Amino acid sequence: MSKRKIMIIGAVLWMALLTITTISQAQILHPVKWSYAAKKGKDGTAVLMLKATIDPGWHIYSLHVKEGGPVKTSFVFEKNPGYQLLGTISEPKPISRFEETFGMDVAFFEKEVIFSQKVKLLKKTPVTAKGTLTFMVCNDKQCLPPEDVPFSIVVK
């Protein structure tokens, strides 16, 4: 084999190794983990709870964010003959402060937050509430694109 071919093969192998190393070091960030539960009441109602556990240094945004700010957290419940939504989804009191990235005061949550939705149960058998939640997560260096997450909560 000629010296030129050996150099070309060496360069190709070097580029392949560099590419594989770069890809293997790239991490897909998922700083928010979601979990779900339901608490049945005695009056034919239940409370659906959607909990976000947030990695240190990250935060997600409130249900109530002004236009022009980050993507607010939102929930869409699929229609189901087994239950009826009562009121709107609620959240605890958020942290609120000015964020230079958005040039405005924004409300957000760190560490963990539980959003809750009260429902009236229309069937006695187990009911499954399904839907999609949307949220955006940021830290002091970056914001990740908004993410849509399907959820399913069984009320027994």
Q: What is the average pLDDT across 53-65?
A: 97
pLDDT-based confidence at 6, cuts 50/70/90?
A: low
Residue 25 has pLDDT above 90, yes or no: no
Average pLDDT of the chain to the nearest whole number:
87
Per-residue confidence (pLDDT) for residue 101, from 0 to 100: 85
Phi, psi of 33 (to 5 degrees): -115, 135
Q: What is the pTM of this model?
A: 0.81
Give the C-alpha separation, 137 to 135, whole Å. 7
Answer yes or no: is pLDDT of 21 > 50: no
* Pair type for strands 137-138 and 127-135: unpaired
